[in-house]
């Protein structure tokens, strides 16, 4: 598969103060592209701004605030003249069992992980449509295909994220706009920090279960986030980029196993499923 690099692309990246957002922002600038980097605290990017001057525009942005999203996108477009690649990276994880987490806990997480992403997408689409091109990348997770206990609501946000982007890809292809879902496995980023985790109020009955779960997580082999930029660049430089792209080597085996198990279950119950189809003597209008 051939990849052709187009230089001087303009990127709009959310959640750039740490983790993948910070690593990718720096790598994009190093390769000679331009970045509108958003963060709740843009001063965290002061060092990069000093180094890369006019190639970096830093913007304060809380993606849960619709007016801020619209203003940030408009400022970035006015500053650079176009937006070629948009990466929705801002997200956090809610830690708590299904019973422990409140509706308010879940709603707040969805405001960032889903509605914040939607706000950015809806703000950039008119610009990309007018350009006749663009590439929207959403940072999901391998948990967009499989789930874990204790972070089930976070997983659910990624399942929703996946469905939204799959529909989006079909809808905007006609305008020359591409969509890719980036699905990282476990990485040694700050995603496990206090800023990227929120904890539901605990129930004592789950304490031992959660302790065992966190012990399991400690043993996960984590990838190096600084190893990811070249793979990301292959995706954005591809003439026909994939809709889904795993970051790291551990996700595909787990997802392959999960889907094999699902297919086996559906097939085992196929006769009962088919019996539920019934026959319809006449079509209802």
- pLDDT, tens digit (0-9, with 9 covering 90-100), for 109-142: 999 999 999 999 999 999 999 999 999 999 999 9
**Which sequence positions are flagged as catalytic?**
140, 154, 158
Q: Express each pLDDT in 11-60 by its tens digit.
A: 999 999 888 999 999 999 999 999 999 998 999 999 999 999 999 999 99
Among 133-137, 193-197, 230-234, name the one with the lowest average pLDDT: 193-197
Q: Are 40 and 17 in contact (CB under 8 A)?
A: yes
pLDDT over threshold 50, residue 5? no
Instruction: Please tell me the predicted confidence (pLDDT) of residue 197.
Output: 76
What the chain holds in terms of domains, given with CATH numbers, is: 10-273 (3.40.50.720)
223 pLDDT band (50/70/90 cuts)?
Answer: confident
Cα dihedral 12/17/22/25 (nearest 10): 30
pLDDT tens readout for residues 141-162: 999 999 999 999 999 999 999 9
CA-to-CA distance for 184 and 143, rounded, in angstroms? 9
Whole-model pTM?
Answer: 0.91
Q: Cα–Cα distance between 60 and 37 in angstroms, integer?
A: 9
């Amino acid at each position: 598969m051939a990849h052709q690099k187009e230089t001087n692309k303009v990127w709009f990246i959310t959640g750039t103060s740490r983790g993948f957002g910070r690593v990718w922002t720096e790598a994009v600038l190093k390769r000679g592209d331009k970045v509108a980097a958003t963060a709740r605290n843009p001063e965290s990017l002061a060092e990069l701004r000093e180094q890369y001057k006019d190639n970096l525009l830093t913007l304060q942005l809380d993606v849960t605030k619709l007016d801020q999203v619209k203003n940030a996108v408009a400022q970035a477009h006015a500053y650079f003249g176009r937006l070629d690649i948009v990466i929705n990276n801002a997200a956090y994880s809610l830690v708590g069992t299904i019973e422990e987490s409140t509706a308010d806990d879940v709603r707040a997480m969805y405001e960032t992980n889903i509605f914040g992403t939607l706000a950015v997408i809806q703000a950039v689409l008119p610009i990309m449509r007018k350009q006749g091109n663009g590439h929207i990348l959403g940072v999901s997770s391998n948990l967009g295909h499989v789930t874990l206990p204790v972070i089930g609501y976070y997983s659910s946000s990624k399942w929703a994220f996946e469905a939204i982007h799959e529909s989006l890809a079909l809808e905007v292809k006609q305008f020359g706009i591409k969509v890719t879902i980036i699905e990282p496995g476990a990485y040694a980023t700050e995603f496990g920090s206090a800023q990227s985790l929120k904890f539901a109020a605990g129930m004592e009955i789950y304490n031992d279960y959660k302790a065992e779960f966190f012990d399991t997580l400690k043993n996960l082999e984590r990838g190096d986030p600084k190893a990811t930029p070249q793979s990301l660049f292959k995706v954005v430089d591809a003439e026909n980029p994939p809709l889904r792209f795993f970051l790291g080597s551990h996700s595909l085996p787990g997802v392959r196993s999960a889907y094999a198990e699902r297919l086996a279950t559906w097939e085992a119950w196929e006769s009962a499923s088919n019996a539920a189809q019934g026959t319809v003597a006449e079509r209802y209008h």
